[in-house]
Amino acid sequence: MLVIPLSTFTPILYEKAYYMSTPMTKTKPNPIDDVSRLIANVRQDPLAFARLYDLYSTSIYRYLYSRVGNQADAEDLTGQTFLTALEKINRYRERGRFKAWLFTIARNKALDHFRKKRAEVVLDVAEIHTGQNDMLANLIQSEQIQELSALIRSLTQKERELLRLRYVADLSYAEIATVLGKRKDAVKKSLYRLQARLQNQLEVKNV
């Protein structure tokens, strides 16, 4: 079995911008990069995995940090996620869902962490991206941040996970469906209803 130390995958995570409260720069795959080609390269040369790490490490770290709430555990779980992905890369079947596959691994690492250690932290509104042009983004850009934070703290764990995957991990509806083992339409409907409920609750609070 290929054994690579976790430190191989963690140097980028020591950048302050990754875990300060200010919004972090997201790293998205360059259109020039073809993920299928990169995966094929990794199967020939494990060192080529560094490019996949560069593409996805920021979003994986953000997601894990939003769940565990501290730098050290988030870094360790990020390293574990990419190590597992590298070890299992030959089992991955290309269906255009590599990011979802990677986040499934990260989510399982977080669940294992909670079984062994501490409870999950509450999602912080400051960690949510506001790039999407949707209901929740509009609420966050309003002056109701404090009220919205309180409402999010009252959500169930499953509801907060939906928000994390959509707004922290920046996954598409199809990718979230893959991670959660649900249909895309069901995920989209659940998120829409959740956002509508938050909006209605905010309106009631401010009547």
Q: What is the CATH number of the domain that holds 81?
A: 1.10.1740.10
Amino acid 75: pLDDT: 94
Amino acid 206: pLDDT: 65
pTM across the whole model: 0.71
CA 6 – CA 90 distance, rounded (Å): 19
Domain count, the chain: 2
Domain boundary at 116, 147, 179, which? 116
Average pLDDT over every residue of 163-179: 92
> Quick one: what percent of the chain has pLDDT higher than 70?
69
Instruction: Give CA separation, 159 vs 37, 52, 63, 86, 110, in Å.
Output: 35, 29, 15, 30, 16
Range of the domain at 190: 125-205
Is residue 14 situated within a structural domain?
A: yes
**Residue with the larger pLDDT of the pair 36 and 16:** 36
Domain boundary at 116, 143, 172, which? 116
Same domain, residue pair 109 and 135 = no
Where do the DSSP E strands lie in the chain? none
Same domain, residue pair 71 and 151 = no
Average pLDDT over every residue of 97-105: 93
User: Is 172's pLDDT higher than 90?
Assistant: yes
Same domain, residue pair 192 and 91 = no
Is residue 1 situated within a structural domain?
A: no
Q: Which residue has the tokens 């073809």?
A: 34
